[in-house]
Amino acid sequence: MAERRHFLPRLPAKRARGALAVEAAYVLPVIIAAAMMFMELANIGLTINMGASALERAIQKFRHDGVETLQQGQDMQALLRTRMALASHNYLNEDNIATIDIEPYATLDAMGGGNAAAQENSAGANSGVPSWRISVDIRKDFITPLPRLLGMDSNAFRYRYQQVLAYLPARSTEAGQ
């Protein structure tokens, strides 16, 4: 008995290259879009982390300034904008800081919505210290054209930070404190 072998006909080299080109035409745009998406997510994450640490450092400088300095009417918004830009190592510039809202309160209890009777009865040493609620909006442009290709209305993303500045140390003139 003669054994019959079935062989598939071999494709010419030109047809194989053509099939590879068609497969690459389908796969490469997906790979490129995934790489751009990864770059955008990394940019957003870096911006959020840099903005949070820059705001924390800027507020820490306000704590070092003390209550008396802040109550003398310094322009806290301009100072906060400049300090955040410097603290972010120029990753965020002053134009990226879209809005700054600073709400002053007479005490921390007033910010929490406490009533006047409870404020008078509180025996806390820091009950007379003013406080501020600080909200900062960051606006940073996307780095790839992918969001515009996906039909997003804006070419930038926004993120909002909120911090409370209270319990500031009072400047003491005594050497023992």
pLDDT in tens, 86-125: 999 989 999 999 999 988 888 877 877 665 544 454 444 4
Provide the percentage of residues in the chain whose pLDDT is more than 70. 71
Inter-residue contact 107 to 127 (CB < 8 Å): yes
Question: What pLDDT was estimated at residue 177?
Answer: 47
In order of 63, 76, 154, 172, the CA distances from 69 in angstroms are 10, 10, 40, 13
**What pLDDT does residue 65 have?**
80
**Rounded mean pLDDT of 137-162?**
88
Do the Cβ atoms of 83 and 58 come closer than 8 Å?
yes
Q: Does the pLDDT at position 85 exceed 60?
A: yes
Which residue type sits at 11? L
